[in-house]
């Protein structure tokens, strides 16, 4: 049975594009919806250009009431009947209430080798710490921020003279390989982690 995938984003949507472009041929899943929390998210136009249904749930009118924002988000997502939710640069923290409704069916990509560098500014923090290796992680989403079972990691060596931007670009390129590889496995019911280097 083909699995239906909804993708949530806040930004340019390059990971969304990588996921969508992977879901062809004998892939066990297909995209059913792309949702953003801001009309300014560049990923919305990229999804529409690819013929995918899009929706926008602006978080700003719900300021101070995260559960109300998430209720609106849940309604929009549920209407598309996804089997799997992929967070792809979705920059809103989700409450335990929302996460528990999708637990075991929700993936996230994070730009660090978790459990190192949860949260923001991961590239600058890895550089400041003098790391030799950085990378990205795809994991199942649990209520704790940037936590949950690891489904894949890709390593990115730190180079002399790296800046956060240069490093971020190389990590992003690896996310575009890793996330589709993990989704393909996950959609087929296989949670064995994918490790890329």
Residue whose CB is less far from ligand GAR, 2 or 163? 163
Q: What angle do CA 181, 184, 185 make, to 5 degrees?
A: 90
Give catalytic status of residue 110 as yes or no: yes
Residue whose CB is less far from ligand GAR, 14 or 69? 14
Cβ(163)–Cβ(124) below 8 Å: no
Cβ(157)–Cβ(133) below 8 Å: yes
Residue facing ligand GAR at closest CB distance = 89
CB of 175 to ligand GAR, least distance (A): 6
Give residues in contact with ligand GAR (CB under 6 A): 9, 11-15, 43, 88-89, 109-111, 172, 175
CB of 72 to ligand GAR, least distance (A): 21
CB of 6 to ligand GAR, least distance (A): 15
Residue whose CB is less far from ligand GAR, 3 or 110? 110
For 79, the token pair is 């209407």
Residues forming beta bridges with residue 140, ordered by sequence position? 107
Residue whose CB is less far from ligand GAR, 14 or 22? 14
Rg of the Cα atoms in the chain:
16
CB of 189 to ligand GAR, least distance (A): 25
* Catalytic, out of 110, 134, 139, 176: 110
Q: How far is CA 100 from the centre of its chain?
A: 17
* CA contacts within 13 A on the Cβ side of 134: 31
> 10 Å Cβ neighbour count for 55?
18
**Crossing angle of the two packed helices 14-22 and 164-187, in degrees rounded to 10:** 30
CB of 106 to ligand GAR, least distance (A): 13
Residue whose CB is less far from ligand GAR, 139 or 184? 139
Nearest alpha carbon to residue 156 among 176, 168, 171, 139? 171
Q: Active-site residue numbers?
A: 110
């Amino acid at each position: 049975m083909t699995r239906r995938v909804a993708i949530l984003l806040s930004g340019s949507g390059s990971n969304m594009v990588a996921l969508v472009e992977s879901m062809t041929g004998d892939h066990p899943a297909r995209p059913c919806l792309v949702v953003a929390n801001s009309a300014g998210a560049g990923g919305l136009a990229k999804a529409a250009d690819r013929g995918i249904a899009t929706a926008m749930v602006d978080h700003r009118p719900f300021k101070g009431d995260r559960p109300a924002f998430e209720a609106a988000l849940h309604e929009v997502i549920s209407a598309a009947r996804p089997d799997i939710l992929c967070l792809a640069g979705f920059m809103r923290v989700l409450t335990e209430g929302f996460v528990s409704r999708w637990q075991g069916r929700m993936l996230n990509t994070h730009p660090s080798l978790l459990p190192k560098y949860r949260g923001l500014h991961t590239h600058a923090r890895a550089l400041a710490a003098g790391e030799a290796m950085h990378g990205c992680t795809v994991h199942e989403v649990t209520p704790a921020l940037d936590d949950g079972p690891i489904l894949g990691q890709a390593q990115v060596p730190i180079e002399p003279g790296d800046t956060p931007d240069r490093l971020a670009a190389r990590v992003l390129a690896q996310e575009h390989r890793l996330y589709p590889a993990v989704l393909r496995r996950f959609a087929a019911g296989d949670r064995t982690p994918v490790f890329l280097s």
